[in-house]
Structure 1
Amino acid sequence: MNRLFLNLLTGLKNRKFLICDLIIFLITPILALAIRLDDDFTVEPYKYGLLVATLMFLAVKITVFAQWGFYKHYWRYATIDELEHMVMLTVGATVLQTIVFKMLFYVSDLGVDRLPRSLPLLDGILSLLLVAASRFSIPALARLRQGRKKSYKGDRVLIVGAGSAGISLVQKMQHSPSLGIYPVAFIDDDPKKFNLNICRIPVLGDRYKIPEVVRSMHISKVIIAMPTVPGRDIREIVEICQSAGVGTSTLPPINEILNGDLKMNSVRDVQIEDLLRREPIQTEVDKISRLLKGKTVLITGGGGSIGSELCRQIFKCRPAEMILIGHGENSVFNIQQELQQLVEELKHNGEKQQEIPRITASIADIRFSSRLKYIFEKYRPEIIFHAAAHKHVPMMELNPPEAITNNVRGTKNLVDMALQYNAQHFVMISTDKAVNPTNIMGASKRIAEMMVLRAAQKTGRQFVVTRFGNVLGSRGSVVPTFKRQIAEGGPITITHPDITRFFMTIPEAVQLVLQAAVLGKGGEVFMFNMGQPVKILDLAKDLIRLSGYEVGKDIDIVFTGLRPGEKLYEELFIEGEKYDPTQHEKIMTVANAAGIVPEIVDFKVDALCAAADKNDTYSIVFLLKQLLPEYKPNRPADEPALEETSSNLSVNWRLLYEACRQMQLWQHESSNDAGITVDVNLTSEQFFQPDFAAQLRQIIQETNINPACLRLVIPEDALAQNPSFATIAYAQIKRLGVQLKLDNWDKLIPSLVSSLIALSPSPKMNDRESDEINHSESTGIKEVEIPMAEK
């Protein structure tokens, strides 16, 4: 009989609770009147007024409760949140019925004027007490019912953290005994909780009591229920549990527990991200939403690690349309499907159609401006997040043209389209490897930064750069690589025992990117506070232990040496940049970032892309050094330089450089260098290369040769096809002090000949030159040597 009664009460549904409430609301006015009148209570003088008041009170309370969702709660798991809702609705109903009661009080023929004026207030208090009793008896009875049949079979679990997350987790375990998880005690670092009982289980002490509790209470698993604590605390608790020989699970960080809804399947194994966890980031969600809501937002690299998370977080802000651009069809398809599922859920929940973002996925390579032009023409994006990039350092060292065409030309194309189609916001995702770069990837990203900042400087638009370090779990990064090596049985390979890197989680990085988009006025670089650098060796050891193995016994660690372009540690600051705090504690700004970008960057970028098109690795490195004095390529001493493998050079700068170095040695060994001359044969295209004179000047300065011993030989058609530019190029080269040798001098147009003669001494030929002309005439070619500087 008792079991039947318990089953009946705990199985009550909301429609049955509505009937209970009707009964309660019919009797509370009578009870209120009895309390008010005390010993003088009698119904007869008040019966008509009491009937009117009771019906009015009933109508008001039922209407308020039903209208504001009181009958949508599941009372078996009622908590303080449900009680707060109940109190709020009862207070509102009491105020409303008091107002109506006062109005009826002056209608004498209804009899309400005979009732005590305090009746609505007393009725409200009694209603709250009785309704609360009816609701909160259900969880108590459910616990009583479960307590009677509890078998205490299954895993005996110790919960670390007696805060709201730990309590919620214990309650769900107690309500679901079929899971086979039995919480036996809490561990908490707050001394005020020691020796107290929470949810009928004791708090036995702080984290250092874990080994003792594990032994004395036969604990089979420890669950860390502290989703807001930093990673150093998680690391220490895990180490204590490992020393006690007990397995460890955890709740994810709070930003991964969607809407604060903690579920049993939220419990998972401890991951490396948990050990590196930092305090949750607070961002200006309202400002971010105002920036993005109702806008057309374009995300490049939408299928990548950062790009896909950008898509997820931007979607929550309800933009009008999201254009996802990516080169990898599968990754773009995956994020499109994920977002489309969210769209369907919003539709199912009755969201207004105009409030639901439209999702458009475009497979596109940002290196092709024609494809970007089509997309911009069709969708007219207002805000652009540029996350597309080649980021793998060793691969880009082996393929410099790819780094330039994708990271530099792709960014240039995107910036050009943004300016042409009047996009007001542009946020570029950069990297800390762009700071004092030692590799092609970092240098290419620094050039990309410069182009964005230059555009902001010229137009005043809100184009900004965000710069941060490694993100955990991105494709091709260190953590997935280590996990794969552990799964294969080892060894784990590390380049250097002292190598360090900055890390942050992908959601954290994207939160700060969106915050920077709000803070940006245009032309800034925003640097994120990455915390303390992490030693990669420690990271590897943690992963081995978390996988259940021992370092050196089950899995070995092998050091392989630094790879081409790799730094021992990443840097944060560039010389000349001025760093200021922002209103967000985790973001700094480089306020003068646009001001220190050289004006020549636009001109040099074109030359850099042209060199990449021709696979001219040496010219790429040469131009990068010109644009970035801080660029210091780093490679092992025993590895050949990348430029040694270059081919199809537009101007073989490496060969010319080596020839000039050899000539410098000859000049140093001989006091008479008049007979040493190096001829450089040029094509038309090479002669008209925009930065030809600048690169030649740098080689002359670096090798410290006599420039008069360098002679450039070009065909006459190179000058004839563009006489005006030829005259300018001639003047630039003349100032260097080198010589110029022309084919078919007599076939040049007279005006050009006059211009060249005006820029140089009279081209009077000596006996040797006459012999050369006579010899050339016999072969149909006439050559004249033109001195390029006063002797």
Structure 2
Amino acid sequence: MHKLFNLDRFINKYVTERDESLFKADLDKFHDTLSGRTENRSVLVIGGAGTIGSSFIKALLKFPIKTLVVVDINENGLTELVRDVRSSVGLHMPEEIKTYPINFSDLVFEKMFKASGPFDIVANFAAHKHVRSEKDHFSIEAMIQNNVVKAKKLLDLLLEHPPAHFFCVSTDKAANPVNVMGASKKLMEDLIMAYSQKIPITTARFANVAFSNGSLPFGFLERMAKRQPFASPLDIKRYFVSPEESGQICLLACLLGNSGEIFFPKLDYDKNMKTFSAIAEDLLRDLGFEPDRCDSETEAREKAQKLGENSSTYPVYFFKSDTSGEKSFEEFFTDDEELDMESFSGLGVIKETNGKPEEELLQIFDELDSLFNSSETTKSDVVGVLKKYLHNFDHIEKGRNLDQGM
């Protein structure tokens, strides 16, 4: 890279185009309340090594909690999390931090939970988040297991020792879903509604988190490090929040929301939408390169091979989206959802909605389980069952998935 690169500065200048957090006014207004609800509290964070989970932890550690337990299947991510928080300025280190590289659906997790709990605050960020995770019925089964079935198992465990606050992350793609990931998260939201009278529980629908682990912008940095070309759709627009803002959304929703509420960032369609290709070009120019647009993946790869230390251009391949489940724009709520746009400066709230009865959800789980246990099940069979129960699920099928391109 031609100069010292500051990712936070780049995100603020070119992606979110905000000098300060979208939620600064809310954090200032509710500071004392947040402090009172975190002081001397025990916290369990599941999926805490990912971008949003770790950002939530850093937002939480602005306040003096007592103990922090973090669970994630990514052992290396947990190691980096501890190094990160202990190397950061302005965070309150709790009396005890423990990290466990275990799956939250395993028996060992339940043993740990019962031995270390009860917890005052529990937040679950474990999720399949990629649209690319719907290649076939095997990948769909894994996604639904993680996003819905395991979430129910966790909720049943929490019923034995209810926390004061429980948060479970959702996605903007749950609003009028067009892909199985969004449909699985809509099922998760319905599950939350079914449990919201038993456990104080909130969730949030997200914008894209800029440069989050595994995201396309994060991939740009990986491609640059490996001297590989950038590839990006031209026609996909997304809302973005910074990693720091993603943690703040979850903190505010977790500690200030009423049970059953769904939070989302207040972003403007005309002002805040960005294409990935625009971010790619801004990134290259910020690093001192001029984008060199190629007409094919092959041309882009060949030009990347010839990059020298003094190259002033960098190969990019931009294309129209042609993969299943890709929505051309984002939305955070549907026409039939009741909104509260007044309580928070940077957040809107979907008030408690009439979710599906628990009996109906169990019926969905049984039907999906039967499909997954059949050797003749196809992806379209699973989509058909989801459509039957989620009437606004309008699946976009193009016969091509994201693993088939750069």
Q: TM-score, normalised by structure 2?
A: 0.81
1:411 aligns with 2:151: yes
The 1:371/1:544 distance shift into structure 2, 3 A limit, reads same
**1:45 alignment partner in structure 2:** none
| Separation of aligned partners in 1, 2:278 and 2:39 | 43
Amino acid at match of 1:597: K
Residue 365 of structure 2 corresponds to which residue in structure 1? 605
Cα distance in structure 2, aligned partners of 1:639 and 1:479:
21
**Contact 1:372/1:414 (<8 A) preserved:** no
**Equivalent in 326, 332, 336 of residue 572 of structure 1:** 332
1:552 paired with 2:312, answer no
Deviation at 1:614, TM superposition (A): 5.4
Say what the alpha-carbon RMSD is for the aligned residues. 2.8
Q: Which residue is equivalent to 1:622?
A: 384
Query: Which residue pairs with 2:96 in the alignment?
Result: 358
Matches within 5 A, 1:527-542: 527-531=264-268, 532-542=272-282
Partner of 2:309: none
Shift of 1:591: 1.0
* Greater than 6 Å deviation, 4+ residue runs: 247-253
SS in 1 for 2:100: strand
Higher helix share: 1
How many residue pairs match? The answer is 363
Question: Corresponding residue for 2:243?
Answer: 506
Pairing 1:543–2:283 present: yes
Alignment-derived partner of residue 195 in structure 2: 455
Letter in 1 for 2:384: F
1:474 positional shift: 1.0
469-478 vs 601-610, which moves further: 601-610
2:13 to 265, 274, 280: 274
Secondary structure in 1 aligned to 2:168?
strand
Residue pairs, 1:34-183, within 5 angstroms: none
Q: Conserved in 2, the CA contact under 8 Å of 1:490 and 1:556?
A: no
Partner of 1:421: 161
Runs (5+) with no aligned partner, structure 1: 1-246, 254-269, 347-354, 641-791
Residue aligning to 2:404 = none
CA deviation profile, 1:356-389 (whole Å, cap 9, x unmatched)? 4311212221233x33421321122221111111
Matches within 5 A, 1:253-402: 271-275=10-14, 276-278=16-18, 279-280=20-21, 281-282=24-25, 283=27, 284-339=30-85, 356-368=94-106, 370-379=107-116, 380-398=118-136, 399-402=139-142
Q: Deviations over 1:550-586 (max 9, x none)?
A: 1237223331533221111122222421112142111
Structure 2: how far apart are the matches of 1:487 and 1:251? Answer: 15
1:516 equivalent in alignment to 2:253? yes
For 2:278, give the aligned amino acid: D
Distance 2:55 2:142 in 1: 25
Report if aligned partners of 1:303, 1:331 keep a CA contact under 8 Å in 2. yes
Amino acid at match of 1:622: G
- Structure 1 letter corresponding to 2:383: V
Residue 296 (structure 1) shift? 1.4
Mapped to 1, the partners of 2:55 and 2:267 lie a distance apart of 18
Tell me if the contact between 2:209 and 2:246 (Cα under 8 Å) persists in the aligned partners.
yes
Q: 1:366–1:406: 8 Å Cα contact kept in structure 2?
A: no
| Structure 1 match to 2:207 | 469
Matched AA of 1:271 = F
Report what 1:562 is aligned to: 322
Using the TM superposition, give the Cα deviation of residue 326 of structure 1 relative to its aligned residue in structure 2, in angstroms. 0.6
Deviations 1:304-355 (A, max 9, x none): 1111122222223222211101111111222234446679x97xxxxxxxx9
- Give the deviation of 1:530 after TM superposition: 3.5
Taking structure 1 as reference, are residues 356 and 464 closer, same or farther at Cα in structure 2, changes over 3 Å only?
closer
- 1:750 aligned residue: none
1:45-72, CA deviations, whole angstroms, 9 ceiling, x for partnerless residues? xxxxxxxxxxxxxxxxxxxxxxxxxxxx
Residue identity over aligned pairs, in percent, reads: 27
CA contact (8 A) 2:54 2:247 kept: no
> 1:252 offset after TM fit, Å?
8.4
Of 171, 174, 179 in structure 2, the residue corresponding to residue 434 of structure 1 is 174
Q: Are the structure 2 counterparts of residues 446 and 273 from structure 1 closer, same or farther at C-alpha, using a change threshold of 3 Å?
A: same
1:488-542, Cα deviation, whole Å (9 max, x unpaired): 55542223x2210111001112112211223212111111123421122222221
Kept after mapping to 1: 8 A contact 2:178/2:394 = yes
Q: 1:619 to 1:335 in 2, by over 3 A?
A: same
**1:430/1:467 contact within 8 Å kept:** yes
Distance 2:47 2:267 in 1: 23
Residues 203 and 261, structure 2, Cα contact 8 Å, conserved in 1: yes
State which of 632, 635, 658 in structure 1 corresponds to 2:394. Answer: 632
Alpha-carbon distance change, 339 to 433 in structure 1, aligned in 2, over 3 angstroms: same
Q: Output one character per residue of 1:101-125: Cα deviation in whole Å (capped at 9) or x when no partner.
A: xxxxxxxxxxxxxxxxxxxxxxxxx
CA 561–313 in structure 1, closer or farther in 2 if over 3 Å, else same = closer
Q: Say whether the 8 Å CA contact 1:322–1:359 is kept in structure 2.
A: yes
Q: Which amino acid aligns with 2:157?
A: M
